C-alpha cells in the first residue's frame, strides 16, 4: 500500500524548525514539492540548502498580506496548491488571573488568526482545482488543557472548531479539512527535554505508548491525511499523542509489567 504524493504541492507553515521541519522533510522524501513558510529566514535557508524544501518563503502568518503574497508565489511557481499544513504555532503560559492581554492576543494572532489567514489565501486555489487538503495542528490541549495554559488551550480548541466548520463549507469542493492533536514532543516550544528523570517519568505515566512523541509521528499522520487514502476523513481531530490519558492512569499498565 502506498501513499503517492509525488508532484503534489505542499505548503508547510512553521517549517524552519521542530515538527514543521520534519513534516517538510517527510513530504520531500515522498516526492512532493514542498514550500516552507516561517518567520526565521536563516533556518528556512538551511532547510532549502539541505534539500528538505523546494521553495522557502519568509512569511509572518499573522499578516494576511504576507500570506497572500506567499500563496501567490506558490501559484506562480507551481500553478497549483494541493496541501496546506498549518503547523506554525506558539505557546505562552501564566495564570489566567494575571495573564497579559497583549500576550493573549499574540497567541490568538498566530494560532487562530494565522490559520484563518492561510486558509483564506489557499481556498480559492483549491476551489479552482476542486481538490485540496487542509491539515491543522491543534494539540492535546484542545482536549484537556493544562494549568497556566489557557490561551494556548483555548486557541487550539478554536482551531478544532474552525476545522469542523471549514470541513463542511469546503466539502462540496472536494477539499478535506482535518486537525491533529500531538501530545508531548520535545521541541523549542516546551521544556520536556530539560525535565529530570523523575519529572519525565511522571509525564510519561500519562501515556499508553510510553515514550516522548517525535516529529515523525506527526509527519506520518500528515502524509496519510494528505494522500488519496484519507479521502473519506474530514472534520476530524486525530489524536497522535501516544494515548495520552486514554485511560485515567495509563501508567498502571506499565507498573504492573
Binding residues for ligand NAI, per CB under 6 A? 13-14, 16-20, 37-40, 59-62, 87-90, 110, 114, 137, 139, 182, 184-185, 187-190
**Residue 103 Cα distances to 97, 140, 152, 189, angstroms:** 13, 21, 10, 15
CB of 58 vs ligand NAI, minimal distance in Å? 9
Element (DSSP H or E) covering residue 233: none
**Residue 142 Cα distances to 90, 152, 160, 169, 181, angstroms:** 14, 8, 7, 22, 8
* Closer residue to ligand NAI in complex, CB, 155/176: 155
Catalytic choice (27, 78, 140, 152): 152
CB of 143 vs ligand NAI, minimal distance in Å? 11
Known catalytic membership, residue 180 = no
CB of 13 vs ligand NAI, minimal distance in Å? 6
CB of 1 vs ligand NAI, minimal distance in Å? 27
Contact between residue 15 and residue 237 where contact means Cβ atoms under 8 Å apart: no
Q: Where are the beta strands (DSSP E) in the chain?
A: 9-13, 33-38, 55-58, 83-86, 132-137, 175-182, 237-240
Q: Who's near 101: CB < 8 A, 6+ residues apart?
A: none
Cα distance from N-terminal residue to C-terminal residue, the chain: 35
The Cα–Cα gap between 115 and 94 comes to 23
Active site residues: 152
Amino acid at each position: 500500500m502506498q501513499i503517492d504524493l509525488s508532484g503534489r504541492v505542499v505548503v508547510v507553515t512553521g517549517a524552519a524548525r521542530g515538527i514543521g521541519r520534519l513534516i517538510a522533510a517527510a513530504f520531500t522524501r515522498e516526492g512532493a514539492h514542498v514550500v516552507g513558510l516561517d518567520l526565521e529566514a536563516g533556518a528556512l535557508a538551511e532547510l532549502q540548502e539541505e534539500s528538505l524544501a523546494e521553495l522557502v518563503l519568509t512569511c509572518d502568518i499573522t499578516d494576511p498580506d504576507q500570506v497572500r503574497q506567499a500563496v501567490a508565489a506558490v501559484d506562480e511557481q507551481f500553478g497549483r496548491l494541493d496541501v496546506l499544513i498549518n503547523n506554525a504555532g506558539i505557546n505562552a503560559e501564566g495564570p489566567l488571573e494575571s495573564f497579559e492581554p497583549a500576550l493573549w492576543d499574540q497567541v490568538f494572532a498566530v494560532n487562530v488568526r494565522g490559520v484563518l489567514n492561510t486558509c483564506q489565501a489557499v481556498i480559492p486555489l483549491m476551489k479552482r482545482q476542486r481538490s485540496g487538503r487542509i491539515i491543522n495542528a491543534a494539540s492535546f490541549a484542545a482536549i484537556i488543557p493544562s494549568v497556566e495554559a489557557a490561551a494556548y488551550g483555548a486557541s487550539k480548541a478554536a482551531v478544532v472548531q474552525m476545522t469542523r466548520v471549514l470541513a463542511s463549507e469546503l466539502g462540496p469542493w472536494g477539499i478535506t479539512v482535518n486537525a491533529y492533536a500531538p501530545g508531548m514532543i520535545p521541541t523549542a516550544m516546551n521544556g520536556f527535554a530539560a525535565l529530570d528523570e523523575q519529572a519525565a517519568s511522571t509525564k510519561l505515566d500519562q501515556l499508553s505508548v510510553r515514550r516522548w512523541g517525535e516529529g515523525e509521528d506527526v509527519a506520518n499522520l500528515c502524509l496519510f491525511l494528505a494522500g488519496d487514502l484519507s479521502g473519506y476523513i474530514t472534520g476530524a481531530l486525530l489524536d497522535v499523542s501516544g494515548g495520552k490519558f486514554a485511560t485515567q492512569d495509563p501508567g498502571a499498565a506499565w507498573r504492573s509489567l
